[in-house]
Amino acid sequence: MIGATSLLLLCFINLSASQMAAVRGRAYLFRAQNNNNAPFMLAGMVDFRQDSLNLVVNGSVRGLTPNGLHGFHVHTIGDIGNNCTAAAGHYNPFGRNHGAPALMFPTIRHVGDLGNIQADGAGVATISGTFRGVGLVGPFSIIGRTLIVHAMRDDLGLGNDQGSRTTGNAGARFACGIIGLLQVTNIVLKTLLTAMPNWLHNNW
């Protein structure tokens, strides 16, 4: 049986470094709200760039608790409705417990676990980080899923309770946005699709 690490590496096996660098994503984040028919208030923007096995993430979010830490996760479903709860739980295709992004994959963490972002005194978080075990390409791509910023700090799975093992006790969903494909060359798109097993094509 092929392991989770091997599956992730297969995502990249046919892509050169330059091809992967051409794959970029972006999420416009909107404040969580109950009324899906009302205008959504923009809270920030986050860009993603595939760099070999790394995912480079840059952006900013405003309106946060000044000087606070806020959970930062990729959730399973691409839907920002109903106070961002329509996005369901953390993206977790391997059924792991919640953890920290610094942990080597596939130990205790979700694919969508990106840790915390830090707001400054004005409530603005500037995001600049590099992550492993999560990416824009392959069968476990985060394209089309929802990026969520939470109202509270993520405890990184270190709490001794069920909430810590599932959500990091990061509290309500403050803002969310669907991660869209920003740039990709035709040759990269063809490689991505042809490298995927048939059962994955049906869920791409």
**Annotated catalytic residue within 31, 73, 96, 153:** 73
Q: Is 201 known to be catalytic?
A: no
Tokens of 126: 């500037």
Q: Write down the catalytic residue from 70, 96, 110, 153.
A: 110
* 70 is a catalytic site residue: no
Confirm whether 113 is a catalytic residue: yes
Catalytic residue among 31, 96, 98, 153: 98
Of 138, 147, 131, the C-alpha closest to 184 is: 138
User: Is position 51 annotated as part of the catalytic site?
Assistant: no
Decide if 33 contacts 83 (C-beta within 8 A).
yes
73 is an active site residue: yes
Cβ–Cβ under 8 Å, residues 148 and 89: no
Residue 98 is a catalytic residue: yes
Cβ neighbours around 76 below 10 Å, total: 18
Active-site residue (options: 49, 90, 96, 153): 90
Among 31, 150, 153, 154, the active-site one is 150
Which structure tokens are listed for 51? 């760099």
Helix spans in 110-161 (H):
none
Q: Which of 75, 96, 145, 153 is catalytic?
A: 75
* Catalytic pick among 31, 96, 145, 173: 173
Distance of CA 104 to the CA centre of its chain: 16
Question: For residue 52, which of 82, 79, 20, 23 has the smallest C-alpha distance?
Answer: 20
Closest by Cα among 135, 147, 154, 157 to 179: 147
Catalytic-labelled residue, pool 31, 49, 109, 113: 113
For the question of residue 173 being annotated catalytic, the response is yes
Catalytic residues: 73, 75, 90, 98, 110, 113, 150, 173
